[in-house]
Amino acid sequence: MNMYLHMPLVYEKIDKIPQSIQENYEFILCYEINPAQSRSIEPFREQFLGNLAYTGQITLNNKNILQSSPVYLPAGHYLFIQQRGSRVLNKDEWLDLAIEQHKDGLWERNKLDDLLYTRFLHEDSMFVTQIFRPVKKIEK
């Protein structure tokens, strides 16, 4: 799905994501995508992700507190997909979802940026894994 995020989501930078996601926390991972794989309609899964640019968290009870080390999911156009369930997806599962999103985006002739954001949260009594892929230009 194409979406426009009107306001950035702000997180406090952390060293790594915890082993389990709690109900009142939200996390984000920002990965660079291997430039050679980001243009391929059939990317190699093992080579798709590049460096982890940052990890961020926010305590949902304290969303309005200004963090000392902020990181962002910037406002802008994205390809967006999410999975809801009794747990968040593990890395293998969300990476498979991200690669399918990538292939669909290229098939639809979107010009994709070389970043990938994975967001983990709990809402409406379910755990949610969301994948955001920035789109430089949306083709009609």
Domain boundaries, the chain: 2-137
Task: Give me the CATH topology for the region 2-137.
Answer: Multidrug-efflux Transporter 1 Regulator Bmrr; Chain A (3.20.80)
Res 137: pLDDT: 58
Apex 99 CA angle, 131 and 76, nearest 5: 40
pLDDT in tens, 16-25: 877 777 778 8
Confidence band (pLDDT; 50, 70, 90) for 36?
confident
Query: Whole-model pTM?
Result: 0.89
In angstroms, what CA-CA distances link 120 with 30, 47, 89? 12, 23, 9
Alpha-carbon gap, residue 54 to 113, rounded angstroms: 16
What is the mean pLDDT of the segment spanning 35-41?
A: 85
